[in-house]
Amino acid sequence: MKEIVCKLLVIGAGPGGYICAIRAGQLGVDTVIVEAVKAGGTCLNIGCIPSKALIHAAEEFEKVSHMAGGKSPLGISLDAPKLDLGRTIAWKDGIVGRLNSGVLGLLRKARVKIVHGRARFRDGKTVEVETETGMQVIRAETVVIATGSEPVELPFLPFGGPVISSTEALSLKTVPQNLVVVGGGYIGLELGTAFAKMGSAVTVVETTPQILPQYDAELVKPVVTRLADLGVRVLTAAKAKGLAGNALLIETAEGAEEQLAADKILVTVGRKPRTEGWGLEELDLDRSGRFLRIDDRCRTSMRGIHAIGDITGEPMLAHRAMAQGEMVAEIVAGRKRTWDKRCIPAVCFTDPEIVTAGLSPDEARAQGYEIRVGQFPFNANGRAMTMLSEEGFVRIVARSDSNLVLGVQAVGAGVSELSSAFALALEMGARLEDIAATIHPHPTRSEGFQEAAMKALGHALHI
C-alpha cells in the first residue's frame, strides 16, 4: 500500500478545491488534491458551464427562428432553421473538456500532486484513496473538505427513466416534445427556458405562490412575462404527486388533480451537501443543519480540518467556494486571512437575467435601516433599445442618512456582466455620490447603474 505525506490535502477538485490547491501550490505548500470523477466539479462538468452553453445555443436558435418567421424588426429573414441537439451537446462537451484540461494543467504548474480516486477518512489526518492501481494512504497536517453538493431526489419521483436531474438534462440528444419541470427555482427555470426556446412544450410546477421564491416579486415579474411569451405554462402553489403512466400527477392550487403529459420530468427542487461516501462518520464535526459548521477562517470543529464550498451551506455558489479556497490556502501558508465579505453576488441566468448583490429593500428595512431606493428602467436606456431588450431595470438600495450603498439588484438581458461592478461598489463601501460621479461609457447598459444612483439622489437625467 502506497503512502503519501503532505502538508495540505484537499478532497474534491471542484471550484473551491482546485483553487485552494493551486493557490497553496503557488505559495510553496506541499499539496495533494484528490478527485473521484473529473477536475472542475459540478460547476464545470454538469452545472454552471454546460448549462450556460446550452442556454446560449437556445438563445441563438430562438433568434434565427424569429427571423425565419418574419418577426424580426431588424429586417432580417431566412429559411426555417433546424436544431441538431446532438451536435450542440458535443460542442458543450468540447468546452467542458478544454476547461478540464486547463484545470489539470494549472494544478501541475503549481506543483500539486493529483490523485484520481475516491477518498475516505480513516481519522482527522489520514485518508484512504481507492485508485485504479490500488489503495493509497495520504497523511496530511491540514485537510480541506470540498466535496460539494448533489441534486435532491424526491422519494415519490426517483431519478431514472423519464425522471431526470439537471445532470441528465444537459446531455439529452433530442429535444423533449413535452418537458415538465418540478421546481421553479433558478436551475429549473434556466433549463426550462432553454428547452422552451428549442421547441419543447414546457410546464413548470412550483409549490410556493411564486417562481424564483428567493427573489422579490418586482425582480421576478419580467421573467414571468417572458415565460408566458415563450408559451411556458407555470403552475404555482401546485404539488407533484408521482408518475401516472407517461404523465406527472399533480395537485393544483385549487386542490384538483391533473395529469401532465411528459416525455421527460426534470426534477430541480434543490441541492444537498455531499456528506456520504467519504467517511464523515469517522470524524467529530459540528453541523449546522445538513451542512458542516465553519468559522470565519473556514475551520471546522476539529483542529486541522477546514471545509469550503457547498458542504458549508448557502449560498451554494462556485465563486463563494473559490474565494473560500483561496483564503484557506493562504492561511495554511501562514498568512493572516479571515472571511469578511460584504457581498457575494448571485446571478440567475433566466431570460431576462437577474442579479442580486447585498441587501434588497425589504432585507434592509428588516435590519432596521432607513433607506432610499433608486430604480432606472432599461426602456430608457439607449443600448437596451438597440439590442431589442428593453425589459427590466437596475435598482440601488442605500442608507438614507449616509447614502452608503447596501445593495444593488437588476433584471434584464445581459445584466450578469454588471454583477462585478455591483459587488465592487459594495466591497469598497461606495456611496450613491461615488457611483453617480463615476463616468459610465455611453451607450452601455452600465449607464443604468449610474442613473439608478442619480435617481436615489433625486436627480436622474434620463427619466
- CA dist 70 and 437 (Å) reads 44
User: Which residues neighbour 227 within 8 Å (Cβ) at sequence distance 6 or greater?
Assistant: 189, 193, 196, 204, 211, 234
* 372, 398 Cβ separation under 8 angstroms: yes
User: Which residues neighbour 422 within 8 Å (Cβ) at sequence distance 6 or greater?
Assistant: 343, 345, 355, 357, 358, 408, 410, 449
Annotated active-site residue in 66, 116, 319, 442: 442
Residue 154 gets which letter from DSSP?
Answer: B
User: Which residues neighbour 198 within 8 Å (Cβ) at sequence distance 6 or greater?
Assistant: 57, 58, 61, 62, 83, 85, 175
- CA dist 252 and 244 (Å) reads 15
Place of cell 477518512: 121
In our burial notation (b when 16+ CB lie closer than 10 A, e otherwise), range 220-246 reads bebbbebbeebebebbbebebeebeee
User: Which residues neighbour 253 within 8 Å (Cβ) at sequence distance 6 or greater?
Assistant: 235, 236, 237, 238
| E strand residue ranges, 74-152 | 113-116, 118-123, 126-131, 134-145, 149-151
Phi, psi (degrees; rounded to nearest 5) at 382: -60, -40
User: Which residues neighbour 71 within 8 Å (Cβ) at sequence distance 6 or greater?
Assistant: none
* 319, 312 Cβ separation under 8 angstroms: no
* 358, 342 Cβ separation under 8 angstroms: yes
- CA dist 211 and 236 (Å) reads 7
- CA dist 435 and 447 (Å) reads 10
442 is catalytic: yes
**Among 281, 275, 337, 334, CA closest to 307:** 275
- Annotated catalytic residues are 442
